[in-house]
Structure 1
Amino acid sequence: MDIEQLWIILKFLFLGLFQGLTEPIPISSSGHLLLAQYFLGVEIEGNSFTFELLVNSASLIAVLIIYRNDIARLIVRGLGYIKTKNPEDKTEFNFIIFLIVGTIPAGLIGVLFDDDISRLSSPQTVAITLMVTGIALFLIRNLRGKRGENGMTMKDAVIIGFAQAVALIPGISRSGATIVAAMARGIHQETALRYSFLLFIPVSLGGTVLSLSDFLSDDNIAELWFPYLLAFLGSLVASYFSLKWFMNIMAKGNLIYFAIYCLVVGPIVLLVLTLS
């Protein structure tokens, strides 16, 4: 193995770990990846869509593992309600409906305005949107909602769904936007977190399906399969432990730390870009 091959392997592993670490927490993984590539001069060999598909799929698997019991409960009791009409299972059934409704805005806007959103991918945009994320997190830092799953409404699902659509803009954290919207609506932080990441599943699956053609047409897979594999595994492990850590942060109500981080990093990035 020569130096160039070793560098490629280490680069893919680093970016996989970096994406996995930042995916669950409310600081925008896509924005941070863009900044990392810009400031470190790191370019992805091969098809960038393949890399994004692999690391995002790894994060999806981590979410599925952590929320497997919730998913099983929704499938058994929520879908079972259609047949049994058991009143005790109606909350799970409604929750599934809310997940479907919450997915629609991001899906539609992502398909209709994909090219326009792509044109916003720049370090300057990320710097500004990081500050927006920080302000939003700061405003809801002390909110302690009381509504759980059985208190959610269709209006909540629509508002959170549009918040997720806003997060299509680079630098706006998907988890941050949805959690901020949910908590601003008076939803308990644990329910807000659960809904946010269960909402991530259909969006991520949809993105995976749409990216499959790019993955299958990537002529570099045979050559880069090992770096791709390391990026996937790095993202999987980092996403799992990052989400576990974030769940603990949410339970303690310490979102202020992420607000401060975004409000510090955003202006620094903007200043460096202005001076360079």
Structure 2
Amino acid sequence: METFVLWLKYLFLGVVQGATEPIPVSSSGHLIIAQKLLGLKQNGLSFEVLTNSASLIAICFIFRQEIGKLISGAFRYLLTRKAEYRSDFLFCVYIVIGTVPAAVAAALFKDRIEEIFSSVHTVSIGLLVTGVALWLIRNLRGRKLDGDLSVKDALLVGLAQAVALIPGISRSGATVIASIAVGMKQETALKFSFILYIPISVGGIVLGASDIVNDPNRAQMAIPYLIAFLTTLVATYYSMRWLMGIMARGNLKYFSYYCFAAGILLLLFL
């Protein structure tokens, strides 16, 4: 019975991770809350690496055509210098530029940030900050398409992604908000935000792979981790599809209401 309850807990954690990874409400913050409520404490990065891998697979699957087009176009531009492939090449360059701030911040400060800020109080403040930012950009309708971006745009969105290392600050929220704030159209903002997620996520998985290999509880936790991985994969896919529909309708303001409500409730009761 105790084993079955543990499986249910990890199923719940997988759903929380998957459902909140794409949407602008902070998956890391929600995992901190869920683990506190369930009485679970993760030692090391094994669980984080596995669930992030599942979310990455789901997001790559959804954007597979866009990713393939960008990579193909970038290589064709390098080989032919044809103008028709220039925007794909520059988009890839901007993804690299946008990755740098978060990569540097993660390499230098990630452990320290999590040590200082991984509390429910910090999560509640982060959710309120995210809610305010979502509210401020709720009516913005940018005009920039893929070929209209600049180095400045990429750096600003990249800096927003670096700030999202703080638990409670949503990565997707920070990058989508920054993308819209610099003038991107909704579909371009969504595309740039989630393709920007891929390299930083891959880097985190590569750096954290040793935690899985050296995890002393690997065999004991194999089934709970597998359950969490599969539920994260499925939940991320459907949550991402849901977000794409919301973005198409311009209804991000509803996430600000959720962030306000969740942040206030956390401050009052946890």
Please classify the TM superposition score into its range, dividing by the shorter chain length. over 0.9
Deviation of residue 42 (structure 1)? 2.5
Note the residue ranges of structure 1 that are not aligned, 5 or more in a row: none
Deviation of residue 162 (structure 1)? 0.2
Which residue identity is paired with 2:141?
R
Q: 1:127 aligned to 110, 124, 129, which one?
A: 124
**Further displaced range: 114-123 or 136-145:** 114-123
Q: Which residue of 2 aligns with 1:54?
A: 50
Q: Quick check: 2:9–2:38 contact (8 Å CA) kept in 1? A: no
Deviation of residue 17 (structure 1)? 1.1
Q: Which residue of 1 aligns with 2:29?
A: 31
The answer to whether the aligner puts 1:77 opposite 2:73 as a matched pair is yes
For 1:157 and 1:260, locate their aligned partners in 2 and report how far apart those are by CA, in whole Å.
28
Q: 2:13 aligned to 15, 21, 46, which one?
A: 15
Q: CA RMSD in A?
A: 1.0
Q: How does 1:218-233 map to 2 (within 5 A)?
A: 218-233=215-230
Which residue identity is paired with 2:196?
L
Q: How does 1:88-107 map to 2 (within 5 A)?
A: 88-107=84-103
Deviation of residue 271 (structure 1)? 1.3
Deviations 1:226-271 (A, max 9, x none): 1111110000000000000000000000001100000111011111
Deviations 1:108-133 (A, max 9, x none): 01111123201211000000110000
The answer to whether the aligner puts 1:146 opposite 2:143 as a matched pair is yes
For 1:249 and 1:43, locate their aligned partners in 2 and report how far apart those are by CA, in whole Å.
33
Which residue identity is paired with 2:269?
V
For 2:34 and 2:11, locate their aligned partners in 1 and report how far apart those are by CA, in whole Å.
13
Q: 1:186 aligned to 183, 186, 193, which one?
A: 183
For 1:48 and 1:243, locate their aligned partners in 2 and report how far apart those are by CA, in whole Å.
27
Deviations 1:32-73 (A, max 9, x none): 1101122x143146x451111111100000011000001100
Q: Which residue of 2 aligns with 1:4?
A: 2
Q: Quick check: 2:124–2:168 contact (8 Å CA) kept in 1? A: yes
For 1:233 and 1:267, locate their aligned partners in 2 and report how far apart those are by CA, in whole Å.
32
Deviations 1:69-109 (A, max 9, x none): 01100111112211110100000000000000000000001
Q: Which residue of 1 aligns with 2:246?
A: 249
For normalisation by structure 1, the TM-score amounts to: 0.95
The answer to whether the aligner puts 1:263 opposite 2:260 as a matched pair is yes
**Any runs of at least 4 consecutive aligned residues in structure 1 with deviations exceeding 4 A, and if so which?**
none
Deviations 1:125-163 (A, max 9, x none): 000110000000000001111111011111000000000
For 2:180 and 2:75, locate their aligned partners in 1 and report how far apart those are by CA, in whole Å.
27
Question: How many pairs are equivalent?
Answer: 269
For 1:11 and 1:44, locate their aligned partners in 2 and report how far apart those are by CA, in whole Å.
12
Cα distance change of structure 1 residues 141 and 133 upon mapping to structure 2, 3 Å threshold: same
Note the residue ranges of structure 2 that are not aligned, 5 or more in a row: none
Q: Which residue of 2 aligns with 1:42?
A: 39
For 2:186 and 2:251, locate their aligned partners in 1 and report how far apart those are by CA, in whole Å.
11
The answer to whether the aligner puts 1:176 opposite 2:176 as a matched pair is no
For 1:113 and 1:196, locate their aligned partners in 2 and report how far apart those are by CA, in whole Å.
22
Which residue identity is paired with 1:208?
I
**SS of the counterpart of 2:65?**
helix
For 2:106 and 2:50, locate their aligned partners in 1 and report how far apart those are by CA, in whole Å.
19
Which residue identity is paired with 1:72?
G
Q: Which residue of 2 aligns with 1:199?
A: 196
Instruction: Give the percent of matched residue pairs that are identical in Structure 1 and Structure 2.
Output: 52
